[in-house]
Structure 1
Amino acid sequence: MLRRRMLIMLGVVLLIILMLGGYKAFSIYKMVQTFAVPKPPISVAVATATERPWQARLPTVGTLKALQGVNLSLEIAGTVKDVQFESGQKVTAGQPIVQLDSAVESALLETAQADLGLAQLDYGRGSQLVGSQAISKGEFDRLTAQLAKNKATVNQLKAALAKKHIVAPFSGTIGIRQVDVGDFLPSGTVIATLQDLSSLYVDFYVPEQAVPKIALGQGVHVSVSAYPSLDFPGTISAINPKVENSTRNVLVRATLANPDGKLLPGMFADLQVLLPNPQPKIVVPESAITYTLYGNSLYVVAEKKAADGSVEKDDKGQPILVAERRFIETGERREGLVLITKGLQNGEQVVSGGQIKLDNGAHIAISADKTLPAEQTSPPRTN
């Protein structure tokens, strides 16, 4: 009886072991079947490496200056009688700006003009009398000198009177006024600033080794932090004929138009000097480059090859595409494009989106990249 029970228990245990083994075998079979199924291709966006004229640029920084700019100030002291402008007003050359009290100078001028009239009468009589020898030659010389002195006094007072009347030396935009009616102003007091903003200068320095690359009339592109999305073109108008001893740099001046008055003197400017003789270079979108400490790389679209070197095709007869990781050397970046100096050929397709999911040799499918211009995107290649 005991022996029979033991056989039954052994049979039950053996059955359980067989069931567990079968379940495990079935699980392994399902896993093998799962891994045996080919993975679906990874959807990526691609762009075409294109060769285009690439104009080298010399980056530098500078400062904007007005075409004409002065601080309007007084040459002589006086009390402000009338302020004839508003802050920020556009003025024309010769337009009155400030009138100082000139009552004393006007009275002195009237006195001097009266003395001049008397001196002219005395000179006229003397010129008649000296001919008839009624007066001496020395007396006539004194009358001549007195006439010249009185003329000089009148001219001096007229000049002093003119300095009481301040006018705009050129057309431009006047700044915030610093004086009010009734102020007594000593000589040298600044009334306001006057700037001609129709055009601007931008002064910048270039290293002495770059001097052979620049010339008068050469183009520059200027940008300022106030308008980061705008680019202001200009041309080189002057090159200093001297190298600075302390920095070994050369001062260069460019002129740029400012029709909208957006640019202001004193602004800090980023410049790109356009160097001559553009060269054909290969460029790709910046999004295609992966930057690492080990070097820069990108994924190139390639056709999967079999062991015999033939192109593998899918069930639709289309070549199977894979991502081939390639290390490259990059150059200047500009306007969303990167210059490729080594490692890529013209016309090759590169992955511009979705490369974070890729590894070398990964099966890929091409989809449209809406972030790129139409000329940079490419349809899937077929035989």
Structure 2
Amino acid sequence: MLPLQSETPFPKIIADLLGLDINEPWVIAVTAIVAAAVIATVLLTMTAVLGIWGKRKITAAFTDRIAVNRHGPYGLLIIPADAVRLLSKELIVPEGVDRPAWDLAPLIIASSALLGFAVIPFGNDLQLADPEIGLAYVFAVASIASLGLLMAGYASNNKFSFLGGLRAVAQNLAYEIPLVLTGVSVVLFAGSLRLSTIVDVQQQTLVSLGGIAIPSWFAFVNPFAFALFLIANLAEVGRNPFDIPEAPTEIVAGYQTEYSSVYFVLIYLGEFIHIFLGGAIIATIFLGGPSGPVLPGVVWFFIKMISVYLFTQWARSAVPRVRIDQLIQIGWKGMLVLSFANLVLTAIIVGVVNA
């Protein structure tokens, strides 16, 4: 397999197609905006298909139902129907809300996940930017969503929303630390925070069985870290058994209770883009990123990312919700201890191998 670290990122490809000099400042700005728009369009389209239509179909398959089948072929017209329905509804602003924070919260929730995709390598040369601190950047911008959730809960002037916001912060604090520590264990193996380098390191052959080369994906090298990251990611994206911040049977809809119309769409959009971002991170640091046989790298990347999405939907349908006290105990007394143990063990192994 060829290494995936690229000297010609996505904006340069666009500049070459347009016959422009990438060294010109205005060309860099324009091509970066165009590349970002392409990536955002793909993600928004995925959210429309998998969030509106796919979620219903997948959940129905897990629970032995049919789901939408009356709106066009296979129910696909439910996508524009839901879009028109939600966006045409009145935006109801409850009395007593803290208006600036209430207005900003949905934008923060949606935009924080989109920012994370700026450094994700989708395939050969399909990367908006490739900074040396790529993995740290992804974790940093994704965690901004916690601020949006707290703002939504506090500003809504609703006790159920406020409880949901507090639960979201408590949950994210409890599980972001294990998530980051597990990611650091990957950095120890790769020797870099640059995502393209992490992908390149996984192209080496781990073992060859019967002429079939098994790549050194970190999911194979350290399956314990992979399992920890998958579980922590479920908590980060609010999927069962960790959907405590919304908990419809307990606190109505948590932090999003008072939102309607376009603001609800933004929160719903942010939720699914965060799920896709979690899948993109897992695909990049544990599953070899865009690497794979026969098919183009970008196809393999989306297969891996959507596979993680399907796992979260399975968890949503099959795993019962835990109580808030159980969630905190699992995070601080279980995941944190295990992630530290994994980090120490990884450091010892890397130290012995490199000695």
TM range, normalised to the smaller chain? under 0.3
TM-score (norm 1): 0.18
TM-score (norm 2): 0.19
Q: Decide which structure has greater helix share.
A: 2
**Bigger Rg, structure 1 or 2:** 1
Q: Decide which structure has greater strand share.
A: 1
